[in-house]
């Protein structure tokens, strides 16, 4: 099949998804798809992703489509340069199909905080697809594209992957270039990948990973090689952190994880209980560190450097900044900027930000001790519940933040992790999370692939 034929079929699926009200896309066009397809068909040597349609979260800059971060602040903005990950996708022959909806500036866990409307869960329109990369997750889950790029700061790919019943991979911090990913929390941000299968996601990761001199946090490390299929999990010790299996865990999630553990044992893995004692501090640490970095990173949206300018009532430059930012940012972004400014301000810096950075080291040290203690991987639930209903948590920010309770410690530590579908509870997908030591992305993907092949992702677990 030619790339032009793939482009036409992809455009038909995108049209159907938009018509169904998924609200997962922010920009795409049939004409752009066909132009891209013609370029791919003329490539002298087909690349490793030749004519594979891939959607891109709209906080990753592209030359041929706007990049809005789902914010009124950047409505209509077109970047003068392209993200390294997008350039690598195009060079590999991929068809960049659409820019996808997200929580504004990637701040959220439900994709309800988009200035352009919430994304619907593909299986139940009354529920959320997770977030912040909910548009990318929904497009993959709905079968519109086989893979998509998202971004993680505190679990924004693994959590929606779990809610939508697909695979979501966060690589080790530094293995995929951040050049062209709009900055939110720079010490946490990580371009990450959704796929229908671990194999699909691994093929995309192989293309976009590897050293990039344009990102000074990029590791001088080779690309993540797609793992050779392993027949089982023999020889692996998998830790079960007791803090991730609380007594009040949702019954469907608990049942899905019990089944995943049984499958892992049947595949030859040895399962042992371990402890990550500072886990309870991960979410509060994240909600100091990430807003502090966000407050600094989003200072550039002032109507002068970036952003839709509004002139304030006093007509001076201060009023211009305040009116531009007050009007351009939505409620969740404003909350985070205010919290970030507060924890960095004189008198509170040591009590909040400096302390959070030290607690972050404790959280990371828990993982290091577990792995040095002889555990190869960790197995946990990805989320405490299946997808929740739209509007259920928007009135209480802390309740929303706790949807990330099992994913954000990994982000604080910079580790690689994957969510794979582990079954369904009352028809809703449940994800299982595997976590690996830093730079052990290949081991992680190989084990996840073996587990995925043995699990029946669509089976009811209770």
Partner 1 sequence: MSIGRDEVLHVARLAELAVDEADLDRLVEQLNRIVDYVAQLESAPADAGAERLLPGPPAARLREDVPGPVPLARPPAAFAPEFAEGFFLVPRHGAMEGP
The set of catalytic residues is 57, 132, 156
Q: Report, in Å, the least distance between residue 81 CB and partner 1.
A: 5
Q: Is 300 in the site for partner 1 (CB under 8 A)?
A: no
Decide: is 91 part of the binding site for partner 1 (CB under 8 A). Answer: no
Q: Determine if 72 is a binding residue for partner 1 (CB under 8 A).
A: no
C-beta separation of 118 from 216 below 8 A: no
Binding-site size, partner 1 (CB under 8 A): 67
Which of 99, 127, 203, 325 touches partner 1 (CB under 8 A)? 325
Could you tell me which residues come within 8 angstroms of residue 9 by beta carbon, excluding any fewer than 6 positions away? none
Question: CB 362 → partner 1: shortest distance, Å?
Answer: 6
Classified as helix, coil or strand, 369 is helix
Residue 334 as a binder of partner 1 (CB under 8 A): the answer is yes
Determine contact, residues 53/95, Cβ cutoff 8 Å: yes
Least Å from the CB of residue 174 to partner 1: 5
Residues 339-378 that bind partner 1 (CB under 8 A): 339, 341-343, 345, 350-352, 354-362, 364
- Does 391 participate in binding partner 1 (rule CB under 8 A)? no
Q: Which residues fall within 8 angstroms of residue 387, CB to CB, at 6 or more apart?
A: 121, 124, 127, 128, 129, 130, 163, 164, 428, 429
Q: Which of 459, 447, 449 is nearest to 268 (CA)?
A: 447
CA distance 18 to 443: 38
Alpha helices in 42-92 (DSSP H): 84-91
Angle of helix 331-344 relative to helix 282-297, nearest 10 degrees, comes to 100
Q: Which helix (H) or strand (E) holds 424?
A: strand 417-425
Q: Counting contacts by CB under 8 A, is residue 312 touching partner 1?
A: yes
| Residue 337 binds to partner 1 (criterion: CB under 8 A) | yes
Residues across the chain: 462
**Considering the rule CB under 8 A, would residue 278 count as an interface residue with partner 1?**
yes
The interface region with partner 1, picked from 27-35, 48-56, 285-293, 439-447 by CB under 8 A, is: 285-293
What is the smallest separation between the CB atom of 397 and partner 1, expressed in angstroms?
A: 6
Is 170 a residue that touches partner 1 (CB under 8 A)? no
* One residue of 196, 327, 369, 453 binding partner 1 per CB under 8 A: 327
Strand partners, 421: 431
**Shortest Cβ distance from residue 320 to partner 1 (Å)?**
8
* The residue to which tokens 């946490």 are assigned: 188
Question: Binding of partner 1 at residue 335 (CB under 8 A)?
Answer: yes
The tokens for 294 are 């966000």
Q: Does 35 bind partner 1 (CB under 8 A)?
A: no
| 183 lies in the site for partner 1, by CB under 8 A | no
DSSP H or E stretch at residue 163: helix 158-164
Q: Kindly tell me the sign of the dihedral angle through the C-alpha atoms of 42, 46, 52, 57.
A: negative
Q: Alpha-carbon torsion 413, 415, 418, 422, what sign?
A: negative
- Residue partners of 311: CB distance under 8 A and separation at least 6: 319, 320, 323
* Binding window for partner 1 (CB under 8 A); candidates: 14-22, 35-43, 46-54, 407-415: 407-415
Residues making contact with partner 1 (CB under 8 A):
63, 80-82, 173-174, 187-188, 214, 216-220, 278, 280-281, 284-285, 287-288, 295, 299, 302, 312, 315-318, 320-323, 325-327, 329, 331, 334-335, 337-339, 341-343, 345, 350-352, 354-362, 364, 396-398, 401, 412-414
């Amino acid at each position: 099949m030619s790339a032009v034929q793939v482009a036409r079929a992809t455009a038909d699926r995108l049209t159907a998804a938009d018509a169904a009200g998924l609200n997962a896309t922010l920009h795409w066009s049939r004409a752009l798809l066909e132009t891209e397809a013609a370029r791919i068909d003329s490539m002298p040597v087909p690349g490793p992703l030749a004519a594979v349609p891939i959607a891109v979260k709209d906080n990753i800059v592209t030359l041929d489509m706007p990049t809005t971060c789902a914010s009124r602040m950047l409505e209509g903005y077109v970047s003068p340069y392209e993200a390294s990950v997008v350039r690598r996708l195009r060079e590999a022959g991929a068809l960049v199909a659409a820019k996808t909806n997200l929580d504004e500036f990637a701040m959220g866990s439900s994709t309800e905080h988009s200035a352009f409307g919430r994304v619907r869960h593909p299986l139940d329109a009354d529920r959320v697809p997770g977030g912040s990369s909910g548009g990318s997750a929904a497009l993959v889950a709905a079968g519109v594209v086989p893979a998509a790029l998202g971004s993680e700061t505190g679990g924004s790919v693994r959590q929606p992957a779990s809610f939508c019943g697909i695979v979501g991979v966060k690589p080790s911090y530094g293995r995929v270039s951040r050049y062209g990913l709009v900055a939110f929390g720079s010490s946490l941000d990580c371009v990450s990948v959704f796929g229908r299968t671990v194999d699909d996601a691994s093929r995309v990761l192989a293309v976009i990973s590897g050293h990039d001199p344009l990102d000074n946090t990029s590791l001088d490390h080779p690309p993540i090689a797609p793992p050779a299929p392993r027949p089982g999990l023999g020889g692996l010790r998998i830790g079960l952190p007791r803090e991730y299996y609380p007594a009040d865990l949702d019954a469907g999630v608990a049942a899905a994880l019990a089944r995943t553990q049984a499958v892992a044992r049947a595949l030859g893995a040895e399962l042992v209980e371990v402890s990550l004692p500072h886990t309870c501090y991960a979410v509060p640490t994240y909600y100091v560190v990430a807003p502090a970095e966000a407050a600094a990173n989003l200072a550039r949206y002032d109507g002068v450097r970036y952003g839709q300018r509004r002139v304030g009532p006093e007509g001076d430059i201060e009023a211009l900044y305040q009116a531009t930012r007050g009007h351009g940012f939505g409620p969740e972004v404003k909350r985070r900027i205010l919290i970030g400014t507060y924890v960095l301000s004189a008198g509170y810096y040591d009590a909040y930000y400096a302390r959070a950075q030290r607690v972050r080291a404790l959280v990371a040290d828990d993982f290091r001790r577990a792995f040095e203690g002889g555990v190869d991987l960790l197995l946990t639930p990805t989320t405490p519940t299946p997808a929740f209903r739209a509007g259920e948590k928007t009135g209480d920010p802390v309740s929303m933040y706790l949807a990330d309770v099992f994913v954000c410690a990994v982000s604080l530590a910079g580790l690689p992790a994957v969510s794979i579908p582990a079954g369904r509870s009352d028809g809703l997908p449940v994800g299982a999370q595997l976590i690996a030591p830093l730079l052990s992305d290949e081991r992680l993907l190989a084990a996840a692939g073996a587990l995925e092949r043995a699990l029946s992702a669509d089976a009811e677990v209770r």
